[in-house]
Amino acid sequence: MRRFARPPKRKSPRIEIIPMVDVMFLLLVFYVLSSLALSQHKGIEVQLPSAQSGQASAAPQQVIITVNSKGEVYLMERPVAVEQLGVQLQELCQQRPGGMEAVQKEGVILNADQSSQMRQTVSVMDQMRQVGVYNFAISTQDGARP
């Protein structure tokens, strides 16, 4: 009878993969978080005026126009002549989802250095109004007035 009986099956060794996946996921999370902590935002350096009544704005896709202390104007970190700001703003809006209507609805953030000349800032606001952007916010720092 033993001749026709099946031999007992050997149990093959199993490799437990779940702990290895857990360790790899933990390493991935650690790498992503540490790389985010090391990155620095490279924006245009401006000294914003301070105001007590400022409100936080957290729209990362919003259009940002910056006027530095030298009077130079930047549209989304690209230098622009004030006379060309309206045209450049329209071109930028055509590339964004929703076009000019979305930018008019969301508004534009204006970062004007506290030592910049008022006429330069007013010229920027005039250029925005000429292309139909009336909704804009002027950035300030938190804190007491100087």
pLDDT of 146 reads 47
Give me the CATH number covering residue 71. 3.30.420.270
Minimal CA–CA distance to 93: which of 38, 123, 132, 56?
Answer: 132
Q: Domain for residue 1, yes or no?
A: no
Please tell me the least confidently modeled range out of 24-33, 52-61, 99-108.
52-61
* % of the chain with per-residue pLDDT over 90: 8
Residue 36 within a domain = no
Treating both helix axes as pointing N-terminal to C-terminal, what angle do 99-106 and 85-95 enclose, rounded to 10 degrees? 110
Assigned token pair, 40: 């620095």
In a domain, 45, yes or no: no
Q: How confident is the model at residue 29 (pLDDT cuts 50, 70, 90)?
A: very high
| 118 within a domain of the structure (yes/no) | yes
Residue 44 has pLDDT above 80, yes or no: no
Interval 65-110: pLDDT, tens: 888 888 888 888 888 888 888 888 888 888 888 788 888 888 888 8
- Sign of the CA dihedral running 31, 76, 47, 110: negative
Number of folded domains that form the chain: 1
Q: Domain range spanning residue 80?
A: 50-142
Nearest alpha-carbon partner for 47 in 121, 141, 145: 141
Let me know if residue 102 belongs to a domain: yes
